[in-house]
Amino acid sequence: MGLGLLVAAAISALALAMPAAEAAKSKKKGGNKTVTASTGNVNIPIPDGTMAAPGVLNVPITTGKALKGKEIADVDVRIRLTGVDVGSYNAALIAPNGATAGLVFPGLTTGTTWGTGPASCAGTPLTFSDESPNMLSQAPADQPDTLVEPYAGTAQPAGSAFAGNPLAVMDGGKPKGTFTVRIIDFSIGDTGTLHCAQVLIKPRKPLK
C-alpha cells in the first residue's frame, strides 16, 4: 500500500474513532456525577428534650440546578456533631417528596461525638450509606463489621437492620429541591451542636 493510501486510511480511522472518544468523554463529564449539597460550616444547637416533648432540629439542605431533570439513583448522608450524650439522638433524612429514611435510633451510639477532627465540614463525619458493610454499635472496636465511637467513617442507616435499605426509599425521586436532616433529642440535659450536614446525591436520567 502506498504512503498516500496509508495516510488516508489513518485519517479515516481517526475520524471514525473521534465520535466514540467524544461520546466517552461526554459521558465521563456528564451530569451523573455525585452532587454534594451541604449546610456549610455551622454551629446549630440541638434543642434539648423536656418532660413534655423531645427536642427537634430540622435542618434544610437545598440542592441546585445541576440536578434539574434528573432522578435519584443513590443517596448518602454525612453528619458531624458533638453532644453530651449522642446515644440519646434519633436522626432521619427527609427527601423533597417527603420520603423519609431513618438513620439512627436512640441507644445505637454512645459517647460525645459523631465524627472526629475539626467541628466543621472539614472534619471526618459519620457517613450513612446503604452500601456500607458496617453497622453502628456500642460494642468494642475489635468487633467485625461495626463502626464504634467516635463514629468516624461509614455505616448502614439504622433502619437497614429492620426494614431493608432505608435510603433506597428515595431512589427514583426528584433530587432537586430541599432535603431535611432531622435530629431528635429524647433526653433531658443532653445538649449538643450540629457542625455540618451533607447530602450526597448520585443522579441518573429518569427511567422510562
Q: What pLDDT, on a 0 to 100 scale, did the predictor assign at position 37? A: 97
Q: Give residue-wise pLDDT tens across range 37-80.
A: 999 999 999 999 898 999 999 999 999 888 999 999 999 999 99
Instruction: Name the DSSP letter for residue 115.
Output: S
The whole-number pLDDT of residue 190 equals: 81
Asked if the model's pLDDT at residue 160 lies above 60, the reply is no
When the candidates are 3.30.43.10, 3.40.50.300, 2.60.120.260, 3.40.228.10, the CATH number that belongs to 32-204 is: 2.60.120.260
Taking residues 104-133, what's their average pLDDT? 95
- Per DSSP, what are the bridge partners of residue 57? 183
52-56: which pairs have CB atoms within 8 A and are 24 or more residues apart?
A: 54/90, 54/184, 54/185, 54/186, 55/184, 55/185, 56/182, 56/183, 56/184, 56/185
The pLDDT, as a whole number, for residue 164 is 47
Please report the pLDDT score of residue 8 as a whole number. 39
- What band does 141 get if pLDDT is binned at 50, 70 and 90? low
Question: In the predicted model, what is the mean pLDDT of the chain?
Answer: 83
pLDDT category of residue 159 using cuts at 50, 70 and 90: low
CB-based contact 116:85 (threshold 8 Å): no
State the pLDDT at residue 24: 31
Model confidence pTM above 0.75: yes
Confidence band (pLDDT; 50, 70, 90) for 26?
very low
Considering only residues 11 and 130, tell me which one the structure prediction assigns the higher pLDDT.
130
Enumerate residues 6+ apart whose C-beta is below 8 A from 27. Answer: none
Q: Is the pLDDT of residue 14 over 60?
A: no
From CA 19, how far away is CA 109, in angstroms rounded?
52
Q: ∠ CA 87-50-41 to the nearest 5 degrees?
A: 55
- Residue 183 confidence (pLDDT) above 50: yes
Give mean pLDDT, residues 149-166. 76
Task: Enumerate the domain spans of the chain.
Answer: 1-30, 32-204
Asked whether 151 and 145 are in contact (CB, 8 A), the reply is: no
For residue 113, is pLDDT > 60? yes
Reply yes or no on whether the pLDDT at 180 is more than 80.
yes
Q: What is the pLDDT of residue 62?
A: 97
pLDDT beyond 50 at 20: no
| Proportion of the chain above pLDDT 90, given as a percent | 66
